[in-house]
Amino acid sequence: MAASIINELSKRGYRVGAMKHVHHADFSIDTMGKDSWRMTNAGASVVAVVSPNELAVIEKKEHDLTPDQLIDLFNEKYLDVVVMEGFYHIVSRDNRFLKLIIGEKWEDAEYFLREISNPYICYFKQNIILDNELFKGTEKLFIGDEGLDRLYEYLISLIKS
């Protein structure tokens, strides 16, 4: 879904940044045996890998970044919006971040709706029963293909405001 939102906003001319949180402690974008890996293991605090078409910066961390540190990563990029995926435990209680809960069915979203703070919106691929108490705090609810188009329009209205 994050890629779909990025694609739609980019097609409409918005500059979009993206962040993906990986919760596996042993994950590394660096590859053992490569020059960048050797530089990091030699003690470099930050390693930049640069090609004619891409830039990757590797900075070893002992813990997750705070919401403010995440924001600072993109401060100089002149973006209209940043789409973040997988940062639940970092931004769930921070009301500066709009949270989008996506699910196939009610059970997919129930846990998140119990744990997050506003603002949040929900998108479900199919109709669900909406008489649940947890939906009372939901700013917007979008369902199905028509709902997806309305979701895009709603996100764009937020970017413009």
- Looking at the fold, whether 16 and 44 belong to one and the same domain comes out as no
The string of pLDDT tens digits covering residues 8-29 is: 999 999 999 999 888 887 888 8
Which pLDDT score is estimated for 139?
55
- Looking at the fold, whether 82 and 136 belong to one and the same domain comes out as yes
- Looking at the fold, whether 48 and 86 belong to one and the same domain comes out as no
- Looking at the fold, whether 79 and 153 belong to one and the same domain comes out as yes
For residues 6 and 18, the answer to whether their CB atoms sit within 8 Å is yes
Q: Which domain holds residue 88?
A: 2-21+64-160
Give the amino acid at 105.
Answer: K
Does the pLDDT value for residue 134 go beyond 60? no
The string of pLDDT tens digits covering residues 24-81 is: 878 888 889 999 999 999 999 999 999 999 999 998 888 888 888 888 888 878 899 9
The string of pLDDT tens digits covering residues 109-124 is: 777 777 787 777 777 7
- Looking at the fold, whether 16 and 75 belong to one and the same domain comes out as yes
- Looking at the fold, whether 143 and 89 belong to one and the same domain comes out as yes
Does the pLDDT value for residue 108 go beyond 80? no
Interaxial angle between packed helices 2-11 and 144-160, expressed in degrees from 0 to 180 and rounded to the nearest 10? 60
- Looking at the fold, whether 156 and 118 belong to one and the same domain comes out as yes
Number of domains in the chain: 2
- Looking at the fold, whether 142 and 80 belong to one and the same domain comes out as yes
Which pLDDT score is estimated for 23?
81
CA triple 21-24-30, angle to 5 deg: 80
- Of all residues in the chain, the percent with pLDDT exceeding 70 is 87
CATH number of the domain that residue 155 is part of: 3.40.50.300
Which pLDDT score is estimated for 94?
86
Which pLDDT score is estimated for 75?
83
Which pLDDT score is estimated for 91?
85
Which pLDDT score is estimated for 136?
58
- Looking at the fold, whether 107 and 143 belong to one and the same domain comes out as yes
Which class for 44: exposed (0-12), middle (13-18), buried (19 or more C-beta within 10 A)?
Answer: middle
For residues 17 and 82, the answer to whether their CB atoms sit within 8 Å is yes
Q: How far apart are the C-alpha atoms of 102 and 161, rounded to whole Å?
A: 23
- Looking at the fold, whether 95 and 58 belong to one and the same domain comes out as no
- Looking at the fold, whether 55 and 68 belong to one and the same domain comes out as no
Which pLDDT score is estimated for 126?
66
- Looking at the fold, whether 115 and 42 belong to one and the same domain comes out as no
Q: What is the DSSP string of 92-144?
A: TT-TTS-EEEEESSHHHHHHHHHHPPSSEEEEESS------GGGGG-SEEEEH
For residues 99 and 91, the answer to whether their CB atoms sit within 8 Å is yes
Q: How far apart are the C-alpha atoms of 152 and 13, rounded to whole Å?
A: 13
pTM comes to 0.78
Does the pLDDT value for residue 132 go beyond 60? no
